[in-house]
Amino acid sequence: MMANLQRFGVLLVILFLGDFVESIKWLSLQHSHLQWNLSLASHPGRGIRSGTSSPCTIARRRYGFVKQQAKLCRHSVEVMPHVQAAAVLAADTCRTVFRQRRWNCSSIGMAPVLPPDLTRATREQAYVYAISSAALTYTMARACSSGGLHQCTCAAKPAAAPAGGQFQWGGCGDNVQWAVQFARRFIDNVEKHALEKRSNGAAANLHNNRVGRKVMVESLRTQCKCHGVSGSCNIKTCWRALPAMAEIGARLLEKYTNAVEVSEGSIAEEVAEERAPKKAKRAVGTQLLVYLSKSPDYCTKDEALGSFGTVGRHCNVSSSGPESCRQLCCGRGYRTVVEEKIERCQCKFYDCCYVKCKICRTKSQIYECL
Ligand SMILES: *[C@@H]1O[C@H](CO)[C@@H](O)[C@H](O)[C@H]1NC(C)=O
Ligand SMILES: *[C@@H]1O[C@H](CO)[C@@H](O)[C@H](O)[C@H]1NC(C)=O
Ligand SMILES: *[C@@H]1O[C@H](CO)[C@@H](O)[C@H](O)[C@H]1NC(C)=O
Residue 279 pLDDT: 54
Give the number of the ligand closest to the Cα of residue 103: 2
Closest by CA position to 168, among listed 117, 226, 127: 226
Residue 286 pLDDT: 79
For a ligand 1 pocket test, name from 35, 43, 83 the mutation site with the most ligand atoms within 8 angstroms of its C-beta. Answer: 35
Give the range among 233-237, 270-274, 337-341 with minimum mean pLDDT: 270-274
Cα atoms found within 13 Å of the Cα of residue 36, Cβ hemisphere only:
17
Residue 166 pLDDT: 79
Fold of 310-370: Endo-n-acetylneuraminidase fold (3.30.2460)
CA distances from 1 to 4, 5, 53 (A): 5, 6, 47
Separation of alpha carbons 103 and 93, rounded Å:
14
> With bands split at pLDDT 50, 70 and 90, how would you rate the model's confidence at 259?
very high
Residue 99 burial (CB count, 10 A) = 11
Atom of ligand 1 nearest to the CA of 38: 13
Residue 244 pLDDT: 96
Separation of alpha carbons 211 and 117, rounded Å:
20
pLDDT exceeds cutoff 80 at 327: yes
Give the number of the ligand closest to the Cα of residue 367: 3
Residue 38 pLDDT: 63
What spacing in Å lies between the alpha carbon of 35 and ligand 1's midpoint?
A: 7
Q: Where are the domains of the chain?
A: 15-296, 310-370
pLDDT exceeds cutoff 70 at 40: no
Residues 6+ apart with CB under 8 A from 260: 284, 288, 289, 290, 291
Give the number of the ligand closest to the Cα of residue 107: 2
pLDDT exceeds cutoff 60 at 51: no
Phi and psi, residue 347, nearest 5°? -75, 140
pLDDT exceeds cutoff 80 at 6: no
Supply the Cα-derived Rg of the chain in whole angstroms.
25
Separation of alpha carbons 112 and 67, rounded Å:
15
* CB-count exposure of residue 335 (10 Å: 0-12, 13-18, 19+): exposed
Mean pLDDT of the region 352-363: 89
For a ligand 3 pocket test, name from 318, 334, 365 the mutation site with the most ligand atoms within 8 angstroms of its C-beta. Answer: 318
Separation of alpha carbons 259 and 270, rounded Å:
16
Beta bridge partners of 239: 223
What spacing in Å lies between the alpha carbon of 339 and ligand 2's midpoint?
A: 19
What spacing in Å lies between the alpha carbon of 103 and ligand 3's midpoint?
A: 19
Verify whether ligand 1 is closer than 6 Å to residue 41 (CB atom). yes
Atom of ligand 1 nearest to the CA of 42: 13
> With bands split at pLDDT 50, 70 and 90, how would you rate the model's confidence at 11?
very low
Atom of ligand 3 nearest to the CA of 320: 5
Lining residues, ligand 3, CB within 6 Å: 316, 318-319
Atom of ligand 2 nearest to the CA of 104: 1
Separation of alpha carbons 369 and 367, rounded Å:
7
pTM attached to this predicted model: 0.86
Give the number of the ligand closest to the Cα of residue 329: 2
Alpha carbon nearest to ligand 3 atom 14, residue: 316
Verify whether ligand 1 is closer than 6 Å to residue 37 (CB atom). yes
Separation of alpha carbons 194 and 203, rounded Å:
9
pLDDT exceeds cutoff 70 at 304: yes
Report which residue type is found at 338.
V
Query: What's the pLDDT tens digit per position in 96-142?
Result: 999 999 999 999 999 999 999 999 999 999 999 999 999 999 999 99
Give the range among 222-231, 246-255, 358-367 with minimum mean pLDDT: 222-231
Verify whether ligand 1 is closer than 6 Å to residue 148 (CB atom). no
Separation of alpha carbons 81 and 69, rounded Å:
14
Residue 12 pLDDT: 44
Report which residue type is found at 229.
V
Report which residue type is found at 61.
R
Report which residue type is found at 239.
W
Mean pLDDT of the region 139-147: 96
Give the number of the ligand closest to the Cα of residue 33: 1
Closest by CA position to 369, among listed 338, 327, 340: 327
Residue 283 pLDDT: 64
Mean pLDDT of the region 200-223: 93
What spacing in Å lies between the alpha carbon of 46 and ligand 1's midpoint?
A: 18
Mean pLDDT of the region 217-222: 94
Q: Could you give the percent of the chain with pLDDT greater than 70?
A: 87
Find out whether 240 and 222 touch, Cβ atoms under 8 Å.
Answer: yes
Residue 152 pLDDT: 95
pLDDT exceeds cutoff 70 at 18: no
Residue 105, helix vs strand vs coil:
coil
Residue 4 pLDDT: 52
Atom of ligand 2 nearest to the CA of 310: 5
What spacing in Å lies between the alpha carbon of 189 and ligand 1's midpoint?
A: 30
Beta bridge partners of 238: 169, 224
What spacing in Å lies between the alpha carbon of 369 and ligand 3's midpoint?
A: 16
